[in-house]
Amino acid sequence: MIMVDTGAWYAVCDASDTNHQRAKAFYEKVAGVIPLVTTDAILAETWTLLAARLGRPAAVTFWETLREARVPVITLQEADIEVAWQIINAFPDQTFSFTDATTFAAMERLGIEQVFTFDHHFFVYRYGPGRRKAFNCVP
């Protein structure tokens, strides 16, 4: 299972994005082969970004595509928000967003180790005993 982050969804959708070709190729390679998931916070963040930069029709198309592809949208739990708060405080030198931190928490809770992202925060974050584990970031 692969968590898909906002930057990856955006890169798939925006042909002018610097990561578009890599994102599109990776998405086409894994979609329907490896289960893709996302969170409600990522969905909201991606919708907002697409609507602001590419317009409402692009945001609608994105959400419609997720629905048609039956990409599960994980609902954040209260515990994820509490863990996200702990993450933010454990990494005072980082600028993790709310969406980043809650995604880290949800991934840990669900045992998801792989993430489709271009966000350097996913490369920086460490978790588990002694904070020695790292997510496998793709592509």
Identify the pLDDT of residue 27.
96
Tell me the pLDDT tens digit for each residue of 23-59: 999 999 999 999 999 999 999 999 999 999 999 999 9
Question: Domain 2-138: which CATH class?
Answer: alpha beta
pLDDT in tens, 84-106: 999 999 999 999 999 999 999 99
CB-CB contact of 2 with 34 (8 Å): yes
Measured from the Cβ of residue 19, the count of other Cβ atoms closer than 10 Å reads 17
pLDDT value at residue 113: 98
pTM equals: 0.95
Q: What is the identity of the amino acid at 25? A: A
